């Protein structure tokens, strides 16, 4: 029997295309003058940690791959294409070439199915990666040299009610953890979500004009800080208790499920999270936050 | 009513009708084919398509890339097959619509990018109404936050822009009716709209058959609330803004379920 796999770390890893646009990487066609540096510098810390951890696989719950019938798992060995962001095509036209950890993807499928979840394998090689997956994974590992698994955001939190949706996502998280352990993978998870999600409906002529960038309202800001403060203090159970209210009152994007999926897979660790940066993008609250589970291992205690 | 709009249509945009074998989907397909023949017989210069599956968040977006070409793989319904596309866009009309929208106080942008992901709804409509892609199109996205007034304005300025260019166009709203999707796999032969949603859908369609288009707009918020209607049924506001709330009876070519949601093919002959 091979070595048991484990989750090395999990990241709250938001996906505004503005972050890739502000960075001007060679994969992206549009050019900018920069912008949103605080978030981009936060991601630089994530990149350094991933380089140091050297995980076998990066897993992302894909907020903008929204599915109606169950949870879909990308099982295509290699996907190549151009991700033109449908809402911000002037910011993100990104050339990607990504390898999937198909063995792990299929293991998650089997585990989820055995738990009674509706789950599907996506095997169409012409499928286009959603921009949340592209942005989050670029910001975490722009070399794209680590295989990935991308999982759709089933819309059950919106369609069946929040509690039912959360239960679905947490079941998916447990299935994901078991699959990682069974396949021996050293894995890093990413919940591709913003925090508060009310935003402006007009864009400045220069998208990266930071003069216009501010939180949508004070209520959102207070909510974001309340949640982040609980994260940094390691009061995970209290944070978890507040999340439904946070979603309701701040239109938090974590409703789409990825954060519940990730935290459940990691066992909702009562540990201090590393809040690497917070700023707004078109008025939404975005934070890059890490939970390095290696710190819970005996050698680190 | 703008004389530029020779046809107005409200049609579904889910790929099940392209090749799905369920009896209900076949019926919708047959209705869609009849509507397509009617549109082509009117020989419009262009189609203006407003699709609820083309999403906008910041303002409004109008497709202006001259010739989108590619293969669409729907993120939900990829089992129903790839959808190849290659069609001309009426760039002049798209530009005129965007300019008119901005002049009316809306924020509208042109989409001028190769590889832009053309939405499934637009392509399903194209497959039936414009199968040879001989009619240039202009495609409008659906802003998820826009309300009735903005959508009606966008519809009105779409028609006015067509009139200024002397285009005879068909205005096409790609939208579902009730939105009660099954969330598990089903036997397509058993596909059905839940009874309470079915009652609402039929009420809406009966009013359209009776020419009471304004009454449907008044009912739309309740309809959306009760049935989870596709994008709050706002595509209807856009269509009526373009068509000028015709009082002539609509022709309902087909009505039925698509995976539990409601779908109808409805046509107004305006010329």
Percent of chain B with pLDDT over 90: 95
Question: Which residues from A are below 8 Å from B185, CB to CB?
Answer: 69-70, 118
Inter-chain Cβ pairs, chain A and chain B, closer than 8 A: 80
Q: What pLDDT, in 10s, does the model give residues B108-163? A: 999 999 999 999 999 999 999 999 999 999 999 999 999 999 999 999 999 999 99
The Cα of B206 is separated from the nearest Cα of chain A by a number of Å equal to: 28
| Whole-model pTM over 0.90 | yes
Q: Cβ B54–A86 below 8 Å, yes or no?
A: yes
Tens of pLDDT, residue by residue over A252-295, are 999 999 999 999 999 999 999 999 999 999 999 999 999 999 99
Nearest to A122 among B58, B78, B145 (CB): B78
What average pLDDT does the structure give for chain A?
95
**Does the distance separating the beta carbons of B115 and A93 come in below 8 Å?**
yes
Q: Considering CB atoms only, which of A130, A156, A202 is closest to B59? A: A202
Chain A residues lying within 8 Å of B57, measured CB to CB: 87, 199, 201
**Residue B268 Cα, gap to closest chain A Cα (Å):** 31
pLDDT score of A1 more than 70: no
3-state secondary structure labels for all residues of chain A: CCCCCEEEEEEECCCCHHHHHHHCCCCECCCCCCCCHHHHHHHHHHHHHHHHHCCCEEEEEEEEEEECCCEEEECCCEEEEEEECCCCCCCCEEEEEEEECHHHHHHHHHHHHHCCCCEEEECCCCCCCCHHHHHHHHHHCCCCCCCEEEEEEECHHHHCCHHHHHHHHHHHHHHHHHHHHHHCCEEEEEECCCCCCCCCCCCCCCCCCHHHCCCCCHHHHHHHHHHHHHHHHCCHHHHHHHHHHHHHHHCCHHHHCHHHHHHHHCCCCCCCCEEEEEEEECCEEEEEEEEEHHHHCHHHC
Q: Which residues of B touch A202 (CB under 8 A)?
A: 58-59, 107
Q: Chain A: nearest CA to B132, how far in angstroms?
A: 23
Q: What is the pLDDT of residue A66?
A: 94
Mean pLDDT score, B256-263: 98
């Amino acid at each position: 029997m091979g070595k048991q796999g484990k989750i090395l770390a999990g990241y709250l890893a938001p996906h505004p295309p503005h972050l890739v646009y502000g960075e001007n990487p060679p994969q992206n066609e549009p050019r900018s003058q920069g912008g949103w540096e605080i978030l981009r510098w936060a991601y630089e810390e994530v990149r350094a940690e991933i380089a140091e951890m050297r995980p076998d696989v990066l897993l992302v719950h894909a907020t903008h791959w929204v599915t109606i019938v169950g949870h879909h798992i990308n099982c295509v060995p290699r996907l190549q294409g151009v991700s033109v962001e449908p809402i911000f095509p002037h910011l993100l036209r990104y050339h990607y070439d990504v390898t999937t950890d198909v063995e792990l993807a299929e293991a998650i499928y089997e585990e989820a199915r055995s738990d009674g979840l509706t789950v599907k394998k996506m095997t169409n090689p012409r499928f286009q990666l959603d921009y949340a997956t592209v942005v989050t994974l670029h910001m975490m590992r722009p070399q794209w040299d680590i295989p990935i698994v991308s999982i759709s955001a089933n819309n059950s939190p919106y369609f069946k009610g929040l509690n039912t949706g959360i239960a679905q996502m947490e079941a998916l998280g447990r299935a994901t953890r078991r699959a990682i352990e069974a396949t021996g993978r050293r894995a890093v998870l990413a919940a591709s979500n913003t925090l508060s999600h009310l935003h402006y409906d007009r864009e400045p002529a220069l998208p990266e004009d930071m003069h216009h960038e501010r939180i949508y309202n004070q209520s959102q800001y207070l909510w974001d800080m309340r949640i982040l403060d609980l994260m940094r203090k390691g009061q995970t159970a209290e944070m978890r208790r507040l999340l439904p209210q946070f979603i309701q009152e701040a239109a938090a994007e974590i409703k789409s499920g990825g954060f519940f999926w990730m935290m459940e897979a990691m066992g909702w660790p009562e540990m201090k999270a590393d809040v690497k940066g917070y700023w707004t993008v078109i008025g939404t609250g975005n934070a890059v936050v890490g939970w390095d589970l290696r710190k819970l291992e005996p050698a680190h205690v | 009513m703008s004389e530029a709009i020779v046809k107005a249509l409200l049609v579904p945009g889910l790929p099940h009708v392209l090749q799905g074998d369920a009896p209900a989907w076949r019926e919708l397909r047959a209705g869609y084919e009849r509507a397509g023949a009617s549109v082509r017989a009117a020989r419009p210069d262009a189609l203006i398509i407003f699709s609820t599956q083309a999403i906008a968040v910041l303002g409004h977006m109008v497709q202006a890339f001259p010739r989108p070409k590619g293969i669409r793989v729907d993120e939900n319904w990829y089992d129903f097959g790839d959808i190849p596309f290659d069609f001309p866009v009426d760039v002049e009309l798209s530009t005129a619509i965007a300019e008119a929208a901005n002049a009316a106080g809306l924020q509208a942008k042109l989409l001028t990018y190769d590889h832009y992901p053309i939405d499934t709804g637009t392509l399903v409509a194209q497959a039936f109404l414009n199968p040879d892609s001989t009619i240039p199109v202009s495609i409008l996205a659906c802003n998820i936050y826009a309300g009735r007034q903005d959508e009606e304005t966008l519809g009105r300025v779409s028609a006015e822009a067509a009139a200024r260019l002397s285009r005879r166009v068909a205005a096409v709203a790609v939208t579902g009716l009730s939105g009660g999707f099954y969330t598990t796999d089903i036997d397509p032969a058993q596909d059905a709209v839940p009874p309470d949603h079915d009652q609402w859908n039929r009420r809406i369609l009966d009013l359209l058959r009776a020419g009471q288009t304004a009454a449907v707009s008044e009912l739309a918020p309740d309809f959306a609330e009760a049935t989870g209607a596709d994008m709050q049924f706002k595509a209807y506001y856009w269509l009526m803004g373009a068509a000028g709330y015709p009082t002539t009876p609509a022709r309902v070519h087909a009505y039925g379920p698509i995976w539990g949601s409601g779908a109808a093919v409805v046509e107004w002959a305006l010329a």
